[in-house]
Structure 1
């Protein structure tokens, strides 16, 4: 760590530690709330469409039917289709306003500082969790979840929170392998938050119900908002851009990354940026698309996971990936470049998605999770590669452009996954996984 530390600001821990605490809480709350909302929606629609189903109101049991010739199985397929469309509306409500906020906030942080926009993103997530908690407690209309998610999207959601945090890490470090490592450390922290949120969601739902689970998300998100206020500003006055806010100007800055070579940075060429962002696009399309449907996929036949079992499975899968990110990247950097690490990680992701898509039983899911545990390394490494090519005063614009792509992926992949899954669940449930395996293969070819 000595070499890494020499490439960081002296006071970096005063910023980095509260940043990690904030995002651990925020992403944990986000994940717990997301799984709770999806599982609540599944149970709600099953109760609404088929109230005669005796087990549909139980959060302790699997919500699927294993006898494929029974009427209950046909009913379950109908519920799967309806809830997938409902999830699609939620994805649109989050993603459409994010198109604007992701283009503005990260670029604006280069001139106005990072802290205000991290605060806005955290408040948006907190408000959504609070309103969803009230909706579950008072049994409001299930489609009110859509405008609640819209509020989160307007505030930037996790996309902006992540982009600004990456800019903060870039403010604290110089270009080099240390930046990739600290990005990996930060990725481990918020990834661990994802894992904890995923793990506790099933247990809280099982033991206490959907209302307590969503309320827990609200409380933790509130803690994140408070800690966010304690993070010192990382972008000093002398490193800020002098120009005032301009939506067209911010959009132009983002586009210029991919249409013009930067004379201030001879290592950043148009070809490198275009290739990198395209590979990142296909990686995120696959990762985010699968996330939108995986809870529904595991709840249904032939796996019939309970909410508790989903929590354990997703947590183990995510924790293994995060441990590999923290330890594997540092070890592999000793003998190979970041680009080759990204290639290996992407190849394992292809194998994992194929195994998920063809899995006839849950044992294949466990094998797939083990095969793909290195796959998440591609994301922080990719961000590190692009950050190293970029001058310090343009880190916000860079991560703004990445957040735009991330948001486009979040929106389009969620819609695509929901549409594919709702239309193919009746004859081949794994179709969406195989489609996104193709996306990941394209990313692999670009990295090569």
Structure 2
């Protein structure tokens, strides 16, 4: 049974609206959240590698002089396989819980405001960091990493944080500025990830695994306090509403099944499919890149892994600059097509990278790869009404979660299965999959009553 709405005036009694110190923007939350995640992600993969190496008696040597001579070592392959599979288990655990909760919480935020979801998601990330610290400090079973991911998903996790953040940007931006504002939000992800990655590798070599996790915990505490007391609510008239009701899920379903003058069900569904494929490739490649770099023939140490992770996040910033410049000359859809082309090239280079310079060449080719998602998010946002933004970005968060599950299932299973005949095959698969959104974007723009592909603004 659905709960009754309270009057608008009752919104003042919501905890989310209490004691705001100042009306701050949402970008610091995304920055702090992704800094903590980017600091923990490669460290968790390397910790799993180290833990399984120790347990299986593998000497763990990754020195460039002799790593290449161990390409046929069965113990090394077992270490790679276990690390890949436990990464998959963590992602599945987070997805199975997050698929329900992220969609529920995002639509709920359309009624109660964005702050409650931002606070809950921040607490979830904080809780996961606490569990990770216990695993590293006390040597607990690596299965507790899965528990931490599940607990985080119960409170919305990073997908819930992004859903509320993108919805808050949509609340306050115009149609003209929305694409760039969403790219700016994604740039916060990239800058944070770059800085965290540059810090994480050298810090791991100097002081081990524990201290970087403690820094992540401190940042997440700061992030939670900012969400609770400093974020400026963007929903004009928050209302109290029950969380546990099917109304929130039904609001998401209605986006795709009920016609409305301002939206096209076909466009919503196909743009969502395009986002699904792009996110699947991005997260699938991200899941195996650290493992790919640690093992033969690259044999990177933690310092190089940190540099590689920084290069992996740099496109968030370069894509923002590229988007701003290209928008003077090209419509958004063409900018997305260019980004997809460079993304495909980068994946092909990764597939055949056997030396460090070639690997960084692949990273360099991704410099425009992340213009794609802000363009598609902005297009989706313009297809729904103001009161549906939270539901929309909850649906996008659901698509992201499903894509992450598919990415882990495909890439983390395919990677160990192809070690013996072509280690880089998952990257070639990713390059092939990216032709799907490229075709979809072109078809959708041609089918648009005001197609962007039929005119080009003059460069200024």
In the superposition, the TM-score normalised over structure 1's length comes to 0.89
Query: SS at the partner of 2:188?
Result: helix
The answer to whether residue 34 in structure 2 is matched with residue 27 in structure 1 is: yes
Q: Which residue of the partner structure matches residue 286 of structure 1?
A: 281
Q: Which residue of the partner structure matches residue 448 of structure 2?
A: none
Q: Which residue of the partner structure matches residue 415 of structure 1?
A: 409
Q: Which residue of the partner structure matches residue 300 of structure 2?
A: 305
Residues 112 and 240 in structure 2, CA contact (< 8 A), matched pair in contact too: no
Q: Which runs of 5+ in 1 are unaligned?
A: 1-13
Query: Superposition pairs for residues 41-440 of structure 1, below 5 Å?
Result: 41-50=48-57, 53=59, 55=61, 65-68=67-70, 73-174=73-174, 176-229=175-228, 230-237=230-237, 245=243, 247-263=245-261, 265=262, 268-319=263-314, 321-440=315-434
Distance 1:378 1:75 in 2: 40
Q: Which residue of the partner structure matches residue 10 of structure 1?
A: none
Shift of 1:316: 2.8
The 1:54/1:118 distance shift into structure 2, 3 A limit, reads closer
Shift of 1:69: 6.4
Shift of 1:317: 3.8
1:175-197 CA distances to partner (integer Å, 9 max, x unpaired)? Answer: x2211111111111122112222
Residues 347 and 427 in structure 2, CA contact (< 8 A), matched pair in contact too: yes
Distance 1:397 1:185 in 2: 22
Shift of 1:345: 0.8
Residues 107 and 250 in structure 1, CA contact (< 8 A), matched pair in contact too: yes
The 1:332/1:241 distance shift into structure 2, 3 A limit, reads farther
Residues 16 and 169 in structure 1, CA contact (< 8 A), matched pair in contact too: no
Moved more, 431-440 or 157-166: 431-440
Distance 1:221 1:133 in 2: 13
Residues 159 and 407 in structure 1, CA contact (< 8 A), matched pair in contact too: yes
Residues 43 and 63 in structure 1, CA contact (< 8 A), matched pair in contact too: no
Distance 2:310 2:23 in 1: 28
The 1:63/1:139 distance shift into structure 2, 3 A limit, reads farther
The 1:305/1:54 distance shift into structure 2, 3 A limit, reads closer
Shift of 1:326: 2.4
Residues 39 and 213 in structure 2, CA contact (< 8 A), matched pair in contact too: yes
Q: How many residues align?
A: 420
Deviating runs (4+, > 6 A) in structure 1?
Answer: none
Q: Which residue of the partner structure matches residue 9 of structure 2?
A: none
Residues 63 and 304 in structure 1, CA contact (< 8 A), matched pair in contact too: no
Distance 1:403 1:69 in 2: 39
Q: Which runs of 5+ in 2 are unaligned?
A: 1-21, 443-460
Q: Which residue of the partner structure matches residue 11 of structure 2?
A: none
Distance 1:330 1:349 in 2: 18
CA RMSD of aligned residues (A): 2.0
